[in-house]
Chain A
Amino acid sequence: MIKYQSIYLSFEGKAILQDFSLDIKKGEKVLILGPSGIGKTSLFSLVLGFVLPDRGEVFFDGELVDKRSVWSVRKKIAYVDQNASIGLGRVMDWFSFVSSLKANQARDFSRERICELFELFKLHCDFLKKDISQLSGGERQRVAIITAVLLGRDVFFLDEATASLDKELKKTVVDFFIHRTDWTVVSVSHDSQWMDAKGVKIFDMEKRKWAS
C-alpha cells in the first residue's frame, strides 16, 4: 500500500532519512516508534507530498507519488496531524467546511452520523455548537479523529492523535481503528494502548527495523 524506496531526506542541511526503505501492506496496523526528531512525521509528509525526498521514491497503492498523482493520493488518506489543526468558528462550521470541499461532497456528514461518532468518543451532540477556540486538547483531537473517519477513506495517518486523551478514550480510539480489517492504519504514538493492541506491527525508527 505504502512503499518507501531508498529515501534520502534532509531538512535545512540536516540529514533525517538516509537510504530508508519501508513497506506497509494493505490492511496493516502499524505503530511507528522512536524519539522525536528522527523523522516519524516526515514519513507522513513524504506520502502527502508536503516534503520531497532528495533521492528515492515513495509509492502509494503501486503509484509513484509525484506532482500529478499527489492530489489524488491525498484524497485517499485520512490524516490527523500532531496539532489537530482544525479551523476556527464552531465545531459544526468546521464539519460543514470539510464537507464543502469538492473532494468530500459525496461523503456523509449528516448530523446523525456525526452525533453517532460523538457518542462513540464520549462527546455530546450539543458539542457541535461549541467554539473551537474553547476546546481542550483532547476535544480537538477527537474532532480531528472524527473528521478523519467521516472522510470515508481507508488509509489513516495518525500523528500522535491520541496523545491528549485519557486512558479509557485512548483505548476506545485504538480499538476503533484496529478492528476494521480493511483499514490501513499508520500511527505515530507513544501511547502504550497502541503497543499493547493485538495485531499491531511495530516499526522501530531508531533501529530501522520491525520489532518482533
Chain B
Amino acid sequence: MGVLDISVTSLIFAFLLLLIPVGISRVFRLGLIRPILNASMRMAVQLILIGIFLKYLFLWNNAVVNILWLFLMIIVAVFTAVKNASINWEKIWFPVFLSFSFATLLIVFYLNVFILRLDYVFDAKYLIVLGGMLLGNSLRGNIVGIDSFYKNIKREKERYYYLLSLGASQYEAILPYLRESIKLAIKPTIAAMATIGIVSLPGMMTGVILGGASPETAIKYQMMIMVAILTSTVISVLLAILLTSRVCFTDYGAMGDF
C-alpha cells in the first residue's frame, strides 16, 4: 500500500485550478496575475529540485550528507530570521545560528533516539523531514520573538535606561522584555495546539495518512511534532535572545547600533 501517485498529466489539471485566482484577479483588478504565476513557477522549480535532492538523500542515506543537509536548512532558516529582524544581521547571525542548531539537533535526536527508537538515528527520512518541520514551524516564532525583543527595548529606550539606573544588572534589565518576547513567540503554537484537529487537519497528519499509515499512527506523530515544535521554539528564542544580547549591548549595558 502506498500513496496514490499523481501523473504529470493529472498535475497539469491541478495547475489548471490557477485559472480561477487568475480570473478573479483579472475581473477585480487585483494586480495579482504576475505574482501568482511567478510564485507558482518558483514553487514548481524549487520543489522539483528538492524532490531530486531528497530522492538521492534517501537513496544514499549517509550520515555525513544528512547532517550537512540539516545544517544547510538551519543556515537558510537563520538567514531568513536575521534578514527579517530590524537588527544589524552581521552582528547576530552567529549567535542565532548556534541557538537554532542547538534547539533543532537536541529535539530531533531526542525524537529519533527516545521516541522513534531508530536503529539508525541519522536516517534521512526522519532526520531531515523532522528537522525541516521543526525549523519551518518555529521560524515565524523565532523571527517574532527576536525582533520584538530589540524593537521593544529600542522603543522604550528611556524605560530600559531607567531600569539600569535603578541598579538592575544587564540581565535584570532585559528580563521584562525577554518574558514578553518568548510569550509572543510561542503564542501561535499554543493556539494551534489548542485548536488542532478541529479547525485544521495538520500537514504532517495528512502526509502520514496519505502515506498509508492509520489515523492512529498519524495522530501520534502529530502530537509528537507539536510538542517538539513548541519546545524547540522556546529553546531557540530564549537562547537567541540571551546570546545576541551579549553582542548587541555595550559593556555599559547601553544599546549598540542595532
Contact = CB atoms under 8 A, between A and B. Distances in A.
Interface stretch (B129-137, B164-172, B188-196, B204-212): B164-172
A104 interface: yes
A179 to B, nearest CB: 24
B252 A87 contact: no
B158 interface: yes
A49 B253 CA distance: 8
Interface centre among B165, B172, B253 (most CB of A within 10 A): B165
16 contacts: A48-B164, A48-B165, A49-B252, A50-B254, A52-B252, A67-B250, A74-B164, A79-B165, A81-B162, A85-B162, A101-B167, A101-B169, A103-B167, A103-B168, A151-B166, A151-B167
Contacts of A205: none
B104 to A, nearest CB: 34
Interface string A73-105: 011010101110111000000000010011110
Given A48-B161, A81-B162, A85-B162, A104 B252 contact: no
Is chain B's binding surface mostly helix, strand, loop or mixed?
A: loop
A85 B167 contact: no
Interface in B159-199: 159, 161-162, 164-169, 172, 176
B216 interface: no
Interface of B: 156, 158-159, 161-162, 164-169, 172, 176, 250-254
A70 interface: yes
Contacts of B168: 101, 103
A85 B167 CA distance: 15
A20 interface: no
Interface of A: 45, 48-52, 67, 70-71, 74-75, 77, 79, 81-83, 85-87, 98, 101-104, 147, 151
Contacts of A52: 252, 254
A77 B161 CA distance: 13
